[in-house]
Structure 1
Amino acid sequence: MRRVIRKVFVSKVFQRKVVLITGGCAGIGRALAVRFAQAGARLVLLDLDQAALDSLAQHLAEHHNAQVLALRCDIADAAAVRAAVALAVERFGGIDVLVNNAGITHRSAFAETDLAVFERIMAVNYFGALHCTQAALPSLLARRGQLIVMSSLSGFAPMLNRSAYNASKHALHGLFDTLRLELAGSGVNVMLVCPGFTATDIRKRALVGDGSVISQPIPFVGKVSSPQDTAEAIFQAAVRRKRLLVHSNVNWLARLLARLAPRLFERLLVPRLSGLKPS
């Protein structure tokens, strides 16, 4: 009986709620859009590819009867984000859940990475999340909503040849851990999500030191999760309004090891996390 009650509760939590997802066309973002649509949510999807947005919106409407507002938006552009959020509020009345999912990565040693690459990574991964949060926060406060922020294992553990990416994820933790404290008592929940390696296109479009895009995906030695499994874990954590979700093939032991025995962690796990085979 308890299981039945829990199942009914989960199915109703996001019914008619407005969920805004950045980077919503592919990978975890697309899987989240499908999962929230299945739960009866109304969706606002931001991405750079209008054709892909339109295709996904049609799929969600036809297969899940979802109401979708699909907007082309570069989240690194604060004015564009404010305009997109204003359209979402005008269309649906407000925003209940903001998922800061969009992100890019790179594969290059620090000494070989142009300043422009650091600036672009921070513009999307950090300032993009900041822009969206600033724009959506009044609505989230009014509706006692949720902020979901996609971080990474690199938010607490380094990966080789990802200095800009790692820095952007550490910055997200600093920003949103602080915001959580400032929002205490407001009814707004802030959840940081640290997935492990997931089969998405982010690694296939990684930048290199000069800002160009590598043609081959970054390798990884170990198990890779599916976007659907990661999205389901995020959805269930959102139902429980968790503060932190570490959904990883490396798991919490790696996080503990990184904090308590960093040298051992760097020797044993960092090469594997970075896609390097053990020597």
Structure 2
Amino acid sequence: MSFFNNKVVVVTGGSDGIGRALVDALLEKGARVATCGRNHDKLYQLQTNYAGQPLFIYTADVSREIDCDNFIKETVKHYGTIDILINNAGISMRALFNETDLETLRRVMDTNFWGTVYCTKFALPYITKQKGTVTGVSSIAGYRGLPGRTGYSSSKFAINGFFEALRTEMLESGVNIMWVCPGFTTSNIRNAALTKDASAQGSSPMDEGAMMSAEECAAQIMDAIEKRKRTHVFTMNDKRTVFLNKLIPSITDKLVRKFFYKNGELVK
């Protein structure tokens, strides 16, 4: 029997990318799933695809505290409890800081950091009763700041710090607080990434075909949850980056710049 069988699992941002892959995989494993997103039509199509299965959908913008509160309340009303929360919803950005409107950074922080805080705050009492798991989907950008992504990196550093502090507070509660750090993953996140004026980028500057699939990413997240890990950095390249950034940060600055820049221009 699957570890996730009959567990109530909440996934934010479940209509696209990693979130959608998580919903698919969790339902296959027998979980009772609740998910939210801003696009009602995509959520409705998702529910239609899984008609008759234990999937609860709710239209919500996680950057809004009231939406998160209502989403969690409606999930508990529907299922009775929550065993696992996966804070997956997030947006990215691509713009140099000195050219960027502050609204871009504000929107990234509101969604990535505050959305995680809101949902965790409202779900934690139920998860504590179940001695379950709270998971944050962070990024290598939460360990190493990336050029063109000052707001994104800031939000992910904040998520890592938030979960590390919360994990320590909850250490004797039976609740597992953890965060996972996927590498570059094929999803819509780069197409929807905000530019300097907070508009959507519309296309990805990266080679999407060379990236980890959303399905593989979801599988690794679920494995980490089942093993009740503290944290999980997915790829060997990202683990190497974390290590080098601690050991030789000034050299890592140059290596990271070389990866993202060509002829003095940000190309990734």
TM-score clears 0.5: yes
Find the counterpart in structure 2 of residue 55 from structure 1: 45
The runs of 5 or more residues in structure 1 that have no matched partner are 1-10
Q: Measure how far apart 1:130 and its partner are.
A: 0.4
1:1-279 matches, within 5 Å, as 11-61=1-51, 66-219=53-206, 223-248=210-235, 250-272=237-259, 274=260, 276-277=261-262
**Code of the aligned partner of 2:151:** A
Q: Measure how far apart 1:278 and its partner are.
A: 8.2
Q: Counterpart of 1:254 in 2: which secondary structure?
A: helix
Number of matched residues?
264
Q: Measure how far apart 1:265 and its partner are.
A: 1.4
Structure 1 residues 278 and 268: CA distance shift in structure 2, 3 A: farther
CA distance in 1, matches of 2:47, 2:237: 34
CA distance in 1, matches of 2:257, 2:78: 46
Q: Conserved in 1, the CA contact under 8 Å of 2:140 and 2:238?
A: no
**Code of the aligned partner of 2:147:** L
The runs of 5 or more residues in structure 2 that have no matched partner are none
Structure 1 residues 207 and 251: CA distance shift in structure 2, 3 A: closer
TM-score when scaled to structure 1? Answer: 0.90
Task: Give the fraction of aligned pairs with identical amino acids, expressed as a percent.
Answer: 34
Q: Where does structure 1 differ by over 3 angstroms across 4 or more consecutive aligned residues?
A: 220-223, 276-279
Q: Conserved in 1, the CA contact under 8 Å of 2:145 and 2:153?
A: yes
Q: Measure how far apart 1:221 and its partner are.
A: 9.3
CA distance in 2, matches of 1:66, 1:190: 28
Q: Counterpart of 1:250 in 2: which secondary structure?
A: helix
Q: Measure how far apart 1:249 and its partner are.
A: 5.7
Q: Conserved in 2, the CA contact under 8 Å of 1:41 and 1:66?
A: no
Structure 1 residues 100 and 271: CA distance shift in structure 2, 3 A: farther
CA RMSD of aligned residues (A): 1.7
Q: Measure how far apart 1:216 and its partner are.
A: 2.0
